[in-house]
Amino acid sequence: MLAAILLVLGVYHLILNMIRRNPSAFWFGLFCLLFAMRSALTGEAIHKLWFPELDYRIEITLEYLAYYYSIAVFAMMLHSLFPAEFPRLLRNLFMGYSVLFSLTLLLPTEQFTGLIIGYHVAALAFIIVGTTAVGLAFKRRRASAGTFLLAALILATGSTVDILINILYHISTAYTSLGLLGFIIAQTIVIARRYAAAFQQVESLSSSLEANNAELDKKNIELTRLDRLKDEFLANTSHELRTPLHGIIGITESILQGAAGPISKPVGQNLRLVTTSGRRLSNLVNDILDFSKLQHGDLVLKRTAVDIGSMVDTVMVLSRPLVGVKDIKLINAKQDLPLVDADENRLEQILINLIGNAIKFTKEGSVTVQYSTLPDGLLEIAIVDTGIGIPEDKQELIFESFTQADGSIAREYGGTGIGLSVTRRLVELHGGTIRVNSIQGKGSTFAFTLPVAGHDLKHIDQTTENERLVAPWAEEVDEETVGEMLRANPEMEDEEVRRILIVDDDPINLQVLRN
């Protein structure tokens, strides 16, 4: 009967360990199986019913093997439950005893049965040490130590009485079995309480997790609302900034062109600085607005066939004021280029960002735009400078929003770190890629790809197109040109007063148009 109970409990605890890994449950299950085998081979003799032809040598060997290794397994269980009170050294010591005595089973039967007294002594020592360790754990208020101490005392008492009777009178009694039954009941209670505590903890954690998830949902809703407000603020602010910026740039340029009469050379230089600064600020406002649109996928490209060589010429003329007094050559290595399939305004924005950055971070040397045709219908545009370069470990970070290679860069050169992020998103929106190759102190190369326009589109005369695009920015209309215009159009000399209707809701724009 006891063997069957031990067998069921052993299998039960091994299955528990498989479901939820628990070393103490595993070793307790193994301990039950060992004692089930020993009980079946001794007092109950169940094996005679199942295996009537079992050899005596095998029977006695299995009985002793179960006894020897039961202490080793119990030592493992004690160490898993109370590692501080029953340390690894003690565990290994009693495991060594078990292995050593199990080797005696290789001897003839009459010899290894005579050595059982030595193992009885080791078992008594283990009972004393193990009970002391559990008592120490109880004193230190370890979890479930009280119930386990009661179980250990029951088992220790039964086993001690059984061992002493066996040593003195060479007979076996059932005291160990009774003590083991009490121990098993107590140990089962311990493990059940631990599982109940674990289940309660899981329930508590689940409730806490649900509460945290609910709070997190509220936070996410609030963050979404704040993010929407931020985007609305950026969009509204950008739109509000555009009008006065255009007014500043327009009025300044009109004064430079003589709308308010002749100006001195120093005044002209200062006004050109105002214009350049205004354009830089305007580009920054555009970047912020585009960043907000890109975040939400609201930016739509208006694709057309664009002459990239002419576009670069235009951007270089617009960017020339950034050079200032620095000894920098702007070189457009033009060649017979195909048209690219791109949004003209966005492509100009990409080039302004990349060429502007190259000029900003180059003290002397050159900024060169190079081109190369790639397979799969792509054109690569590379902006090569001889500037300060970028550390290798920062070359990927610079494409992240509001990130620069070094904090000192913002202080020395200015910038918000948003331009390259917007540039990469715009390039990717076109179906291209952007990369950087840089050596610190020697310069950088920013290269991006764009799809080539349809093959039915013809190459254009770049020289004529460049002149058409660049001339309005590079040259001022002089008096001789005006005279030629008047001679070509005599009706313009008519002294009749002509009126032009100007309609705008902003007084600054009205003044720009008047000028």
Helical ranges in 361-450 per DSSP H: 407-413, 419-429
Helical ranges in 20-55 per DSSP H: 23-41, 47-50
State how far the Cα of 345 lies from the Cα of 448, in Å rounded to an integer.
Answer: 16
pTM of the model: 0.47
Q: Strand (E) positions, 227-316?
A: 303-306
Element spanning 214, H or E = helix 175-256
Tell me, what's the pLDDT at 217? 92
Query: Tokens in use for 380?
Result: 């690569």
Tell me, what's the pLDDT at 29? 86
Residue given tokens 């406002």 in the structure block: 285
Residues 210-236: b if buried by 16+ CB within 10 A, e if exposed: eeeeeeeeeeeeeeeeeeeeebeebee
> DSSP 3-state assignment of 304?
strand
Tell me, what's the pLDDT at 304? 94
Q: Which amino acid is at 325?
A: V
- Considering only the top CATH level, what class is 302-476? alpha beta
Q: Give the other-Cβ count within 10 Å of 74's Cβ.
A: 26
Tell me, what's the pLDDT at 492? 55
Residue 249 bridge partners (DSSP): none
Tell me, what's the pLDDT at 230? 78
State how far the Cα of 431 lies from the Cα of 62, in Å rounded to an integer.
Answer: 75
Tell me, what's the pLDDT at 443? 92
Residues 346-382: b if buried by 16+ CB within 10 A, e if exposed: bbbbbbbbbbbbbbbbbeebbbbbbbeeeeeebbbbb
Instruction: Collect all residues with Cβ–Cβ distance below 8 Å to 466 and sequence separation of at least 6.
Output: 309, 310, 313
Domain ranges of the chain: 2-173, 302-476
Q: Strand (E) positions, 148-307?
A: 303-306
Tell me, what's the pLDDT at 367? 95
Query: Tokens in use for 228?
Result: 């929407």
Cβ(287)–Cβ(418) below 8 Å: yes
**Please, what are the averages of pLDDT over each run of 10 residues along the chain (515 residues)?**
77 82 84 80 58 72 84 89 90 89 83 79 86 90 81 81 75 66 74 77 89 91 86 76 83 85 85 82 78 75 93 90 88 90 92 92 93 92 93 81 52 57 90 92 93 62 41 45 55 64 72 68
Tell me, what's the pLDDT at 106? 84
> Any idea what DSSP says for residue 339?
P
